[in-house]
Structure 1
Amino acid sequence: MKLFIAALGTETNTFSPLPTGRQNFDETLYHRHDGGAQSEHYFAQPLRIWREMALAHGDEVVESLCAFAQPGGRTRQSVWETLRDSVLADLRHAGEVQYVLLKLHGAMAADACDDCELELVLAVRDLVGPEVTIGVELDLHCHLSPRLAAAANLIVLYKEYPHTDVNERAVELFTYGRLAAMGEIRPLMALRDCRMLGVWRTSDAPVRELVDWMTAAERRDNVLSLGFCHGFPWADVPNVGAQALVLVDGDPSLADALVDELAGRILALRERYQPALLTIDEAMALLPTLAGLSVVADIADNAGGGAASDATWLLRGMLAAGTPGALFGAVWDPVAVRICMEAGEGARLPLRLGGKVGPQSGQPLDLAVTVLRVVENATVTFGAGRQPMGDAALLDVDGLHIVINSIRTQVFHPDAYTQFGIRLADYRAVVVKSAQHFYAGFAPVADRVIYVAAPGTVSPDFTSLALPRAGRPLWPQVSDPFSAGVAP
């Protein structure tokens, strides 16, 4: 059999001031035909897995585009069309294929396209016809629609947040996709709209229980996969919001019953789960009273959610409170990085830092800094791969250490800091610009994790999000989103 594979995505925050252009893809992830072999980026790894598994079965593999952009605002329409058309051109050139596996994000929007994944999968279906199996792996922060479920044969979602199971889900999708292509299973999907906005950390007990129940349910006869689509709230697009997805083998009544059960458990999280968040003032008052290492998440300035990662709100609060022995980062400021690299290690100089992109970033800070260390082409671990940070510098401001970098990314792992030759154990507090992906790497070395809701592009105040394109009421913007009488 012949397998066609491709990876294309970004996560679009329609409230972000940062347009997503071609340069973002080029500096984050862009390969044509060999991304699975050439890249360590987590988004490329399913391509490597699919190729290796297909070759082990004696199948032929045609690999197309492998591209991902750091989350930001809408992708420029011309950039989206070029990327889309590259995949479709490769598919045409591949000739007859028996199955197609796509690694997509699920929350990508362009200037004139609210649902890039749907547009791509529909185009792929038009090319390959109704008999070819199409499987799609999506981030759980995706937007699902009945049209997408109808166009694809299989959709598999990550289960974990932080996303520690990307490769496991890739193996799962290949296994079921190939069986479907051989006619050994008949995959059917069922989808339910839960009409909820939220962030659900799978490290927290009520959400962990749900994920464990989903995994156990997959051991039932004819059940292939369950997915809790968390959705990506910061997107004014149709289908924004949480959904339940079930994939079974050939039994529509089983699919309907199981997806209703899953949706009920997701809906119950409205009462059972409320993430604990502190204000800046609350965090500044609490930190001096705590022993050991506190890891603090600046969740609203998370580059992984489309923020600039140059917001100064929390950093300003730390400077005002006086927090020596703390480490803060990473602040995306290519101009400041360039200045510090020119000055060199050991230099002391005035530096204007952060607050450059727009009002959501706050005001820039004018600081007297000492350049402690410079690292060229810095990287950070995420999953089994590495992500670029660009050139980076470690600064000292009266005992407070700050990491700045030139390629926008969130802090996924402690090596974002330890590559500067420092130890986390030497600090009382480490602040990370990340919402949850840091957790897998930092929680094992921290005495506690604290989440702070400062102002920013990825604000957790979902009641204030303007989502006119959502097309239906959503909790918590309304207390009962089903009361309008529209069936779920």
Structure 2
Amino acid sequence: MARIAVGGFQHETNTFAPSKATYDDFAAASAWPGLTRGEGLFEAVAGINIGIAGFVEAATAAGHDLLPLSWSQATPSAQVTEDAFERIVGQMAEDLAGMEDLDGLYLDLHGAMVADHVDDGEGEMLRRFRDVVGPELPIVVSLDLHANVTPAMVAFADCLEIYRTYPHVDMAATGKRAAAQLEALIAGRGGRFKAYRQLPFMIPLSSGCTYEGPAKEIYREVKLLAQEPGVTGVSFACGFCPADFPDAGASLVAYGQTQGAADGAAESLYRAAVERESAFALEVLSPVEAVREAKRIAAHADKPVVLADAQDNPGGGGNADTTGLLRALLSERAEGAVIGNIFDPKAAEAAHAAGEGAAVSLSLGGHSGIPGDAPLEAEFRVLRIGDGRLTGTGPFYKGAPMQLGRTALLELNGVRIAIASSKVQLADQAMLRHLGVEPAAQKILALKSTVHFRADFQPIAETVLVVVAPGPVILDNRELPFRRLRPGLRIMPLGPAFEGADGRAAS
């Protein structure tokens, strides 16, 4: 039986997003539990599809003694404030320093955190925790598939285990793999040799979906290489592109019993990814094009056509309040279509005050100052109101006790609009059922999500169309005003390379 400290601190930082992540954002519950420190931590995360829940389940079953630090996350946004970073990391370091006779440390991190004062959030916290526990204690970390893995993260952790699915239906499973890695390291069986590679091109967010295409093939290769003799672990990160710092982008890491085994696995996976560069190309539609195509398909389909409002995804740093796709649904007269969730607490409050069946004048959405976007001013009918309390039922949010605040279902010219008081991407059918909408019975569903919705909605969909309406989660990286990437990195597959600090890119 080993004594293992357990904690987590997660944030996916879009440095181009409009809003920062404060301490209060980490403290509040939304789709996941709020900041929980010490006693009650393991109960708070139990049964949820997140890394720490899988780790705790596996490590407890193996008979290990687990000591809780804290776990927290905030909806993706711009930088984590210095106050939030220092308070949370400080709490974790303080608690860790008070734990005696530890055999290991497990951390459930994201891998793409940028703070106001620290580019590499995870690398910095790992450096501090390593200072606390010393150079020999095994540290194992589970990371998001969209981690921007840095040299510091590789150096200060003994093993990084990264999700292998997008949508992330294997978050808890990754925690279980991390538990096996830590157990092996504690027992002296783990691979202490490391190999790390950064890809020469960025992978657009929507191109990393593992249901199809090159990403599916890459993660099949990850599983095969992890079973090679002498190899103890292999992970691939698609990276999180909207992060303007030198280590942004796709990368991979391999571990082995020898340096040769680790290097061989890393080089094989690197070649497999580079050979597929052109296959990661982006395929998207404008809002009007997407709605017209959706209406054409829906006229003869038995299942919903799903539109992904990918660039206003709160799971990538958007505020979920842009109106570009909604306006296209209205202008193209897509009667019967449903769009959600639009984040607008004031509108939700007004709908609740008006009551079901009432008409209410609103200035809906468009409050984030996104270029090309504006509030939609109209008189809406309130079809349904809700308290925002539900439990996720789909593969991604499975078991998550969601708290969306006041919610409402509005109607304007035959288009129904789900609104909420918390920024959570619409990636679970339960979020629509909460407002009386049965997803499978609709003709057109427009969802503020990039890829995670596919886990629960693709099985019921006739087809999925990716839409580029205004929003800060830019899919075409050529539109992002990068200033600080590493020179030579191609910002799109087979696309222009970043030249340097002046921000110029060569075609």
TM bracket, shorter-chain basis: over 0.9
Displacement of 1:377: 2.8
Displacement of 1:482: 10
Question: Contact 1:50/1:171 (CA < 8 Å) preserved in 2?
Answer: yes
Question: Contact 1:35/1:47 (CA < 8 Å) preserved in 2?
Answer: no
Question: Contact 2:23/2:83 (CA < 8 Å) preserved in 1?
Answer: no
Question: Contact 1:17/1:357 (CA < 8 Å) preserved in 2?
Answer: yes
Question: Contact 1:360/1:457 (CA < 8 Å) preserved in 2?
Answer: no
Displacement of 1:116: 1.1
The structure 1 residue matched to 2:339, chosen from 316, 328, 332, is 328
Structure 1 residues 204-234: Cα deviation after superposition (integer angstroms, max 9, x where no partner): 2322122112212222222222222111100
Question: Contact 1:380/1:411 (CA < 8 Å) preserved in 2?
Answer: no
Residue aligned with 1:374, SS: strand
Structure 1: distance between partners of 2:160 and 2:359: 54
Q: Give the aligned partner of residue 403 of structure 1.
A: 418
Structure 1: distance between partners of 2:174 and 2:465: 29
AA in 1 matched with 2:384: R
AA in 2 matched with 1:257: G
Answering whether residue 243 of structure 2 is matched by residue 235 of structure 1, we say yes
Say if 1:384 and 1:152 are closer, same or farther in 2 by CA, change over 3 A: same
Say if 1:265 and 1:422 are closer, same or farther in 2 by CA, change over 3 A: same
Answering whether residue 140 of structure 2 is matched by residue 135 of structure 1, we say yes
Q: For 1:84-95, list aligned pairs within 5 A.
A: 84-95=89-100
AA in 1 matched with 2:220: D
Structure 1 residues 179-202: Cα deviation after superposition (integer angstroms, max 9, x where no partner): 101212233221111132222111
Structure 1 residues 356-414: Cα deviation after superposition (integer angstroms, max 9, x where no partner): 12124711001221111111033462343323322210111121100000011101111
Q: Give the aligned partner of residue 111 of structure 1.
A: 116
Structure 1: distance between partners of 2:21 and 2:235: 28
Q: Which 4+ residue blocks in structure 1 deviate beyond 6 angstroms?
A: none
Residue aligned with 1:232, SS: coil
Answering whether residue 346 of structure 2 is matched by residue 339 of structure 1, we say no
Q: Give the aligned partner of residue 372 of structure 1.
A: 383
Question: Contact 1:379/1:390 (CA < 8 Å) preserved in 2?
Answer: no
Residue aligned with 1:357, SS: coil
Answering whether residue 356 of structure 2 is matched by residue 355 of structure 1, we say no
Question: Contact 1:40/1:384 (CA < 8 Å) preserved in 2?
Answer: no
Q: Give the aligned partner of residue 38 of structure 1.
A: 44
Question: Contact 2:310/2:466 (CA < 8 Å) preserved in 1?
Answer: yes
AA in 1 matched with 2:244: D
AA in 1 matched with 2:26: F
Structure 1 residues 8-59: Cα deviation after superposition (integer angstroms, max 9, x where no partner): 011111111101112211223211122331246957x433333343333333
Displacement of 1:66: 0.8
The structure 1 residue matched to 2:227, chosen from 215, 219, 234, is 219
AA in 2 matched with 1:474: L
The structure 1 residue matched to 2:217, chosen from 206, 209, 218, is 209
The structure 2 residue matched to 1:287, chosen from 290, 294, 297, is 294
Displacement of 1:131: 1.3
Residue aligned with 1:18, SS: coil
Say if 1:96 and 1:5 are closer, same or farther in 2 by CA, change over 3 A: same
Say if 1:383 and 1:216 are closer, same or farther in 2 by CA, change over 3 A: farther
The structure 2 residue matched to 1:426, chosen from 424, 441, 452, is 441
AA in 2 matched with 1:349: V
Residues 48-57 or 129-138, more deviating: 48-57
Q: Give the aligned partner of residue 6 of structure 1.
A: 7
Aligned length: 482
Answering whether residue 18 of structure 2 is matched by residue 17 of structure 1, we say yes
Say if 1:482 and 1:182 are closer, same or farther in 2 by CA, change over 3 A: farther
Residue aligned with 1:470, SS: coil
Say if 1:482 and 1:220 are closer, same or farther in 2 by CA, change over 3 A: farther
Structure 2 runs not aligned, ≥5 long: 501-507
Displacement of 1:316: 1.0
AA in 2 matched with 1:421: G
Question: Contact 2:426/2:449 (CA < 8 Å) preserved in 1?
Answer: yes
Answering whether residue 399 of structure 2 is matched by residue 385 of structure 1, we say yes
Question: Contact 1:355/1:361 (CA < 8 Å) preserved in 2?
Answer: no
Structure 2: distance between partners of 1:54 and 1:289: 52
Displacement of 1:320: 1.1
Structure 2: distance between partners of 1:357 and 1:40: 35
Q: Give the aligned partner of residue 457 of structure 2.
A: 442
Residue aligned with 2:378, SS: strand
Structure 1 residues 158-178: Cα deviation after superposition (integer angstroms, max 9, x where no partner): 111110111111111111111
Q: For 1:104-183, list aligned pairs within 5 A.
A: 104-183=109-188
Q: Give the aligned partner of residue 269 of structure 2.
A: 262
Displacement of 1:352: 1.3
Structure 2: distance between partners of 1:77 and 1:404: 31
Say if 1:191 and 1:350 are closer, same or farther in 2 by CA, change over 3 A: same
The structure 2 residue matched to 1:465, chosen from 455, 476, 480, is 480
Q: Give the aligned partner of residue 260 of structure 2.
A: 253
Structure 1 residues 444-470: Cα deviation after superposition (integer angstroms, max 9, x where no partner): 111111111112101112112222222
Structure 1: distance between partners of 2:490 and 2:335: 41
Question: Contact 2:391/2:398 (CA < 8 Å) preserved in 1?
Answer: no
Say if 1:110 and 1:476 are closer, same or farther in 2 by CA, change over 3 A: closer
Aligned-residue Cα RMSD (Å) equals: 1.9
Q: Give the aligned partner of residue 452 of structure 1.
A: 467
AA in 1 matched with 2:332: A
Structure 1 residues 127-176: Cα deviation after superposition (integer angstroms, max 9, x where no partner): 11111100011101111122221111111111111101111111111111
Structure 1 residues 82-106: Cα deviation after superposition (integer angstroms, max 9, x where no partner): 0000100110111231100000001
Structure 1 runs not aligned, ≥5 long: none
Q: For 1:289-328, list aligned pairs within 5 A.
A: 289-290=296-297, 291-292=300-301, 293-328=304-339
Structure 2: distance between partners of 1:216 and 1:50: 23
Structure 1: distance between partners of 2:224 and 2:77: 36
Question: Contact 2:335/2:414 (CA < 8 Å) preserved in 1?
Answer: yes
